[in-house]
Amino acid sequence: MGPITLHKSRSVESNGRQNSIKTNSEKLSELKVRVYGDTAVATYKDTYDLLIKGEHRAHTIIATDTFVKMDGEWKQVASHGSEAK
């Protein structure tokens, strides 16, 4: 099996609100990818610092993304994140 490329798409972008959001920084850490045949599960921490309509927000979330290999390409089929406490 070859390498898996993970592409993180933001729901913010798909909602068309990207003009009101400025990303100051974002760091992914503790990435773990487990592959089960044609399914892969990635878990990681996402620490980010944003300005949303002028309001500062800095958070760390614990995230899980699920990918399925379809027609030879990995497609993201699910994503979940919860704020780390």
7-53 per-position pLDDT tens digit: 555 444 444 555 788 888 999 999 999 999 999 999 999 999 989 88
The CATH classification number of 22-83 equals 3.10.450.50
Q: Tell me the pLDDT tens digit for each residue of 52-62.
A: 888 898 999 99
pTM over 0.75: no
Distances (CA, A) of 21 to 17, 25, 30: 7, 12, 25
Q: Which long-range contacts (CB under 8 A, 24 or more apart) does 8-13 make?
A: 8/46, 8/65, 9/76
Contact at 8 Å (CB) between 50 and 24?
Answer: yes
Helix runs in the chain, H state only:
11-14
Contact at 8 Å (CB) between 50 and 58?
Answer: yes
